[in-house]
A and B are shown apart, each in its own frame.
Chain A
Amino acid sequence: MRSIKGISVFIIIVALFALPIVVKDSYFLYLAILAGIFVILAQSLNVIVGYTGQMSFCHSAFFGVGAYTSALLTMNLKFSFWIALPCAMIAGLILGLLIGYPSLRLRGPYFAIVTVGCAEVVRSILYNWVDLTGGPMGLPNIPPPDPIALGNFITLSFDSRQSYYYLVLVFALFTQLIIVKVVNSKAGRAFVAIREDEGFARSIGIDIMGYKILAFSISAIFAAMAGSLYAHYILFISPVSFTIMESINVILMVIVGGMGTIVGPIFGAILLTALPEMLRVLSDYRMVLYGLVLMMVMIFLPGGLVAALKLSGSFLSGAFGRLPKGVSSVGS
Chain B
Amino acid sequence: METFFIHLANGLAIGSSYVLIALGFTLIFGILDIIQLAHGEIYMLGAYCTYFLISLAGVSFFPALAISAIVIAGVGLLLERVLFRPLKNVPLLNVLLITIGLSIFLQNGATLLWTPEQRTIPTPYMTQTLRFLGLAITVQRLLVVVVSVILMIAVIFFIRHSRIGKAMRAVAQDKEGAAVAGININLVRGFTLAVGCGLAAVAGSLVGPIYLVEPTMGATPVFKAFVIVILGGMGSVGGSIIGGLFLGVIENLSAAYISMALKDTISFVLMVVILWVRPAGIFGKILEE
Contacts and interface: CB of A to CB of B under 8 A. Distances in A.
Interface in A241-270: 248, 251, 255
Contacts of A155: none
Given A107-B288, A332-B87, A116 B223 contact: yes
B93 A208 contact: no
- How would you classify the secondary structure of chain B's contact residues: helix, strand, loop or mixed? helix
B2 interface: no
Most A-side CB within 10 Å, residue of B105, B223, B267, B287: B105
Interface stretch (A21-29, A216-224, A285-293, A305-313): A285-293
Interface string B95-109: 111101111111111
A114 B100 contact: no
A291 B288 CA distance: 31
A291 B101 contact: yes
A109 B96 contact: yes
Interface string A74-110: 0000000000000000000000000100110111111
A106 B265 contact: no
A108 B101 contact: no
A8 interface: no
B35 interface: yes
A292 B223 contact: no
Interface string A99-142: 10011011111101110111011001000100000000000000
A120 B261 CA distance: 13
The 7 closest A-B pairs by CB, nearest first: A291-B105, A294-B101, A291-B104, A295-B101, A117-B268, A287-B108, A332-B89
A122 to B, nearest CB: 10
Most chain A CB inside 10 Å of its own CB: which residue of B93, B106, B275, B279:
B93
Interface of B: 35, 86-98, 100-109, 111-112, 223, 226-227, 229-230, 234, 261, 264-265, 267-269, 271-272, 275-276, 279, 281, 286-289
A contact patch SS: helix
Contacts of B226: 113, 116-117
B268 A118 contact: yes
Nearest to B35: A109
Given A102-B272, A117-B268, A291-B102, A110 B230 contact: yes
A326 B98 contact: no
Contacts, number: 135
10 contacts: A103-B275, A107-B289, A110-B230, A117-B272, A120-B264, A198-B288, A287-B108, A291-B101, A293-B101, A331-B87
Interface residues of A, number: 44
A91 B75 CA distance: 45
A264 B272 CA distance: 32
A299 B87 contact: yes
Given A55-B96, A331-B86, 12 more contacts: A55-B93, A102-B275, A108-B93, A109-B96, A120-B268, A287-B104, A288-B105, A291-B101, A298-B94, A299-B90, A326-B90, A332-B86
A279 to B, nearest CB: 14
Contacts of B281: 110
Nearest to B224: A117
Nearest to B108: A287
A248 to B, nearest CB: 6
B265 A294 contact: no
Contact of B97 (A255, A285, A288): A255
A107 B287 contact: yes
Nearest to B268: A117
A262 to B, nearest CB: 20
A106 B288 contact: yes
A290 B105 CA distance: 7
Contact of B108 (A113, A117, A118, A288): A288
Contacts of A284: 112
A252 to B, nearest CB: 8
A288 B105 CA distance: 5
Given A121-B272, A198-B289, A298-B97, A113 B112 contact: no
A331 B223 CA distance: 28
A116 B103 CA distance: 15
A208 B288 contact: yes
A124 B261 contact: yes
Nearest to B286: A110
B100 A248 contact: yes
A188 interface: no
A199 interface: yes
A113 B230 contact: yes
A295 B276 contact: no
B252 to A, nearest CB: 17
A102 B279 contact: yes
Contacts of B111: 287
A56 B207 CA distance: 31
Nearest to B98: A298
Contacts of A302: 90, 94
A291 B279 contact: no
A106 B287 contact: yes
B98 A294 contact: yes
Contacts of B35: 109, 112-113
Contacts of A291: 101-109
B275 A290 contact: no
B276 A102 contact: yes
Nearest to A287: B108
Nearest to B226: A113
Contacts of B103: 291
